[in-house]
Amino acid sequence: MKKNILIVPGDGIGQEVTEVGKKVLIKIAEKFGHEFIYDEALMGHVAIEATGNPLPDETLEKMRASDAILFGAVGHPKYDNDPTAKVRPEQGLLKMRKELGLYANLRPIKLFDELLGASSIKPEILKGSDILFFRELTGDIYFGEKGRKNNGDTAYDIAEYSRYEVERIARRAFEAARTRSKKLCSVDKANVLETSRLWREVVQALAPEYPDITVEHQFVDSAAMMLIKDPRRFDVVVTANLFGDILTDEASQIAGSMGMLASASVGDSTGVYEPIHGSGHDITGMGVANPMASVLSAALLLDISFGLKEESDAIISAIEQVLKAGFRTRDIADSTTAPEMILGTDAIGEEILKRI
């Protein structure tokens, strides 16, 4: 298979982990006889420094021209501590989602058995957890009208959803449920919010088209509680932008570390694959960032954008073997890990490459 992959490392540890993700893609192409052609582009703080724009037109053009994008993370302490900054790295993220029509964010929450001890939740509650979240990405309170009134003393953010926006993500979730345990949980707040009542109405209207799928509706407050109490009761979950933002970060703790979780943003055109973590200011340049989220993002890219399931599984299996062999990065090590088994970003990357 011949494909063009755009690498957008972004800022901080985004650059460190994406390098490992790219090496893994190169290895897979070698091993399975594919031809992947790579290009690279700037985004985030590095792009602001170079061009004044967090998502330069040149980057956007390259994104549109590629078959898939492996993305790192954006962010720099300079902006976090200055809420008045007019140009900010995360503006690049929102613009990318809008311009590429990326309306569905998929986050698989998969717990590797070897990391049962790394989570703050009890192993007997966690064992076997495997959840696939679909978070809507282009609507809701983030994109509605916002402003201030009463001399700035009152603020508002309007949440809006249209039927087609709910329908297109719900369909993706129903279809994914078909390939898994045929259970779909739709999370809303239909007892209070009108947007949630529309959400539930649309999901209910679609359900007869998927008679093999069992659909459950849950209020977001109860879902947040159940995720910690009994994560195994969830399989495919579909929810709105704001609820999904919060629930997926909560669910990341099931996997033990932010450094282990990948995500895919898909929609009308090129898909973007990225770790769920940010640019990790506190560990940038130390060579200790866990690259597995980026490597798992590369696996998702192969599976979802190129349909290369065997290649994707080969990556996941290599990570499993590295963990079984006892190797850890600092974030997933515990008191039982021998110091010589704690590896840096590049060294653990080499262990993964060896096992592909």
Ligand X SMILES: NC(=O)c1ccc[n+]([C@@H]2O[C@H](COP(=O)([O-])OP(=O)(O)OC[C@H]3O[C@@H](n4cnc5c(N)ncnc54)[C@H](O)[C@@H]3O)[C@@H](O)[C@H]2O)c1
> Could you tell me which stretch among 20-28, 108-116, 213-221, 273-281 binds ligand X (CB under 6 A)?
273-281
Q: Binding of ligand X at residue 289 (CB under 6 A)? A: yes
Residue from 11, 189, 210, 331 carrying the catalytic annotation = 189
Nearer to ligand X, 89 or 139 (CB): 89
Answer yes or no: 245 catalytic.
yes
Answer yes or no: 189 catalytic.
yes
The single residue listed with the structure tokens 């696996």 is: 299
Per-residue binding letters, 189-218, with ligand X (x by CB under 6 A):
------------------------------
Q: Binding of ligand X at residue 258 (CB under 6 A)? A: yes
Token output for 175: 């279809």
Q: Binding of ligand X at residue 73 (CB under 6 A)? A: yes
Nearer to ligand X, 24 or 93 (CB): 93
Q: Binding of ligand X at residue 282 (CB under 6 A)? A: yes
CA distances from 194 to 104, 176, 190, 308, 331 (A): 21, 27, 7, 40, 41
Closest of 108, 159, 165, 106 to residue 135, by C-alpha: 106
Q: What's the CA gap between 161 and 166, in Å, rounded?
A: 7
Q: Find the binder of ligand X among 293, 302, 314, 318 (CB under 6 A).
A: 293
Extract the annotated binding site for substrate: 97, 107, 135, 221
DSSP 118: G
Q: How many CB atoms lie within 10 A of CB 149?
A: 9
Q: Find the binder of ligand X among 129, 186, 279, 305 (CB under 6 A).
A: 279
Token output for 253: 């703790």
Per-residue binding letters, 10-29, with ligand X (x by CB under 6 A):
---x---x------------
Q: Binding of ligand X at residue 281 (CB under 6 A)? A: yes
Q: Binding of ligand X at residue 140 (CB under 6 A)? A: no
Q: What's the CA gap between 297 and 312, in Å, rounded?
A: 10
Residue from 39, 113, 157, 221 carrying the catalytic annotation = 221
Q: Binding of ligand X at residue 80 (CB under 6 A)? A: yes
Nearer to ligand X, 186 or 270 (CB): 270
Q: What's the CA gap between 59 and 75, in Å, rounded?
A: 17
Q: Binding of ligand X at residue 271 (CB under 6 A)? A: no
Q: Find the binder of ligand X among 9, 139, 278, 349 (CB under 6 A).
A: 278
> Could you tell me which stretch among 67-75, 134-142, 223-231, 334-342 binds ligand X (CB under 6 A)?
67-75
Nearer to ligand X, 196 or 263 (CB): 263
Q: Binding of ligand X at residue 245 (CB under 6 A)? A: no
Q: What's the CA gap between 236 and 104, in Å, rounded?
A: 13
| Cβ within 8 Å of residue 172, ≥6 positions away | 104, 134, 266
The minimum distance between CB 289 and ligand X, in angstroms, equals 4
Maximum Cα–Cα distance across the chain: 64
Closest of 131, 341, 348, 124 to residue 255, by C-alpha: 131
* Strand intervals (E) in the chain: 2-10, 35-40, 68-73, 104-110, 130-136, 146-149, 154-157, 183-188, 214-219, 236-239, 262-266, 271-275
Closest of 142, 176, 178, 171 to residue 158, by C-alpha: 142
The minimum distance between CB 260 and ligand X, in angstroms, equals 8
Token output for 101: 């029509």
Amino acid present at 269: S
Q: Binding of ligand X at residue 280 (CB under 6 A)? A: yes
Answer yes or no: 140 catalytic.
no
State the catalytic residues. Answer: 142, 189, 221, 245, 249
- Tell me which residues touch ligand X (CB under 6 A): 13, 17, 73-75, 80, 90, 93, 258-259, 277-283, 289-290, 293, 331
